Amino acid sequence: MKDTLVSRRAVLAGTAAAGALSLTGFPARAEPQWKKYAGTTLEVILAKGPRGDNLQKNIKEFTDLTGIQVESEQIPEQQQRQKAVIEFTSGKPSFDVVHLSYHVQKRQFEKAGWLADLSGYLKDPNLTAPDLVESDFSAAGLQYAKNDKGQMLSLPWSVDYFILYYNKELFQKKGVAVPKTFDEMVAAAETLTDPKEGTFGFVGRGLRNANMTLWTNFFLNYGGEFLDAKGNILTDGPEAIEATKMYQRLLTKVAPPGVSGFNWMESMASFTQGRAAMWIDGVGWAPPLEDPAASRIVGKVGYTMVPAGPKGQYSATYGDGLGIAQASKNKEAAYLLCQWAVSKAQGSRLLQAGGGVPFRNSILNDAEVRKGVKLPQEWLQSVIDSAKISKLGLPVIIPVAEFRDLVGAGVTATLSGADPATELKKAHEQFRPILERSEKS
């Protein structure tokens, strides 16, 4: 590793000098040497979705810019995660660049040492465009991308804040104001619920595992912290119990029947059919909500921040990034690709199509880019506001999936009337040994 770095530096120094000469003494940071790795072929493994689409659709631009060929495949999220882990474990992954879900894989990837350190590349003017600087990424993005030694192990690609979607028409009909706090939200939901009409005040994920991404919005706003300084899990403490009570209250009293089996898809169906007045979920669902072919509430959707709890106002934040396999032989070329994928041009397209929200402030704050956003400006505003109150939505531990399954099952059980404190205690009795084992190994 060290050898290749040294030789690369030496080579780059030479070419940089040549480049500087040709610019006749122009001293500022120039464009990186895009063409240096022309002829290389990169393999990319993507999770299926708008980010992957956006990359694949415009990849010709990257190839034109660099001469690097890119072979990419999109695989459904869950299978993509499995494939990546299995290939990494084999020691010879078939891909150079991997699309990773931070909230699920961060700790696992870091601990296993599967990703290359990009910190050096970021500081290298021959590899990095002048506008790409660390401080341009939002705090949550950096928190996700850096390990505890401060090394950048990936480039943050797209962030997912949880926001409150509401049905303006139903709100107007009942004369309800947009809630700013949980208490107001409960009151509003109660007013808006009308079982005879088949409309309900609130809908959200009740399905085990999926529900944890919603639940943490309550947990954080009740002042919850996932881990203490020693890494002990705290999600069965008093904040968690209060949060679960709130969750239970909303999903049993003012939500459609069967909500305990709802994932985002069923929740969205209720909301787009005008059967639910409020829905808390990721920012990424605006395009289908505003699509006349898929939604009955086009133009009637309001977007705002998750209401405040008694201990603060936070938006549970998730995200994905692009990392480079430590075992890859084309790290520099792969870095150019990652850089292009998170570039302003690509990020603007993503944002404007509503397919994702870039982690880079320079994109979000650019008036020109914002003008091009086809979704309602209210949506964009909710994104920008949520960025300010964003907080990581899941504990950064290896057994995230077990956490979501076990605690999620307990939380789902409260929807059939079980007691929150008892269920959380039971779930954590099962989860704690798993966490201990994984941190020890």
Partner 1 sequence: MSGVSATETAPAQPDTATREMPGWQPPSYWPFVLPALIVVLAVIIFPWAYTVWMSLHEWKVGAPPTFVGLANYIRLPSDARFVESVWHTLVYTALSVALPLLLGTLAAVVFHAKFPMRGFLRGLFILPMMATPVAIALVWTMMFHPQLGILNYLLSLVGLPPQLWVFHPATVIPSLVLVETWQWTPLVMLIVLGGLAAIPSEPYESALIDGATRWQTFRYISLPLIMPFLFIASMIRMIDAVKSFDIIFAITQGGPGSASETINLYLYSVAFVYYDVGYASAIVVVFFALIVALAAALLRLRQRTHWNDAGGVA
Q: Contacting partner 1 (CB under 8 A), which of 85, 142, 297, 396?
A: 85
- Measured from the CB atom, the residue of 341 and 407 that comes closer to partner 1 is 407
Task: Considering the complex, state which of residue 113 and residue 231 has its C-beta at the smaller distance from partner 1.
Answer: 113
In the bound complex, what is the minimum distance in angstroms from residue 89's beta carbon to partner 1?
A: 5
Q: How far is the CB of 68 from partner 1 (least distance, A)?
A: 29
Torsion of CA 243, 244, 249, 255, to 10 degrees: 110
From the number of C-beta atoms within 10 Å of its C-beta (0-12, 13-18, 19+), residue 421 rates as middle
Taking the C-alpha atoms of residue 81 and residue 99, their distance in angstroms, rounded to an integer, is 9
Distance CA 210, CA 203 (A): 14
Applying the rule CB under 8 A, the residues between 403 and 432 that interact with partner 1 are 405-406, 409, 412-413, 415-416, 426, 430
**Do 281 and 162 touch, CB atoms closer than 8 A?**
yes
Give bridge partners of residue 203 from the DSSP assignment. 279
**Smallest gap from residue 408 Cβ to partner 1 (A):** 8
Q: Which is nearer to partner 1, 381 or 430 (CB)?
A: 430
Here's the x/- map for partner 1, 269-298, by CB under 8 A: it reads as xx--x-x-----------------------
Residue type, 441: S
Please tell me whether residue 66 binds partner 1 under the rule CB under 8 A.
Answer: no
Extract the runs of DSSP E, i.e. beta strands, from 60-119: 69-75, 97-101
**Residue 85: which H helix or E strand, with range?**
helix 77-90
What tokens were used for 397? 């531990």
Based on the shown chain and the rule CB under 8 A, indicate whether residue 94 belongs to the binding site for partner 1: no
The smaller minimum CB distance to partner 1, of residues 354 and 408, is found at 408
* Residue in 359, 326, 345, 325 with CA at minimum distance from that of residue 44: 325
Q: Which residues inside 107-166 make contact with partner 1, applying CB under 8 A?
A: 108, 111-112, 114
Which span (260-268, 343-351, 352-360, 379-387) binds partner 1, by CB under 8 A?
A: 260-268
d(CA 338, CA 426): 43
Q: Is 194 in the site for partner 1 (CB under 8 A)?
A: no
Rounded to 10 degrees, the C-alpha dihedral 276/279/285/290 comes to: 40
Measured from the CB atom, the residue of 350 and 415 that comes closer to partner 1 is 415
- List interacting residues with partner 1 (CB under 8 A): 78, 82, 85-86, 88-89, 108, 111-112, 114, 198, 206-208, 256-262, 266, 269-270, 273, 275, 399, 401-402, 405-406, 409, 412-413, 415-416, 426, 430, 437-438, 441
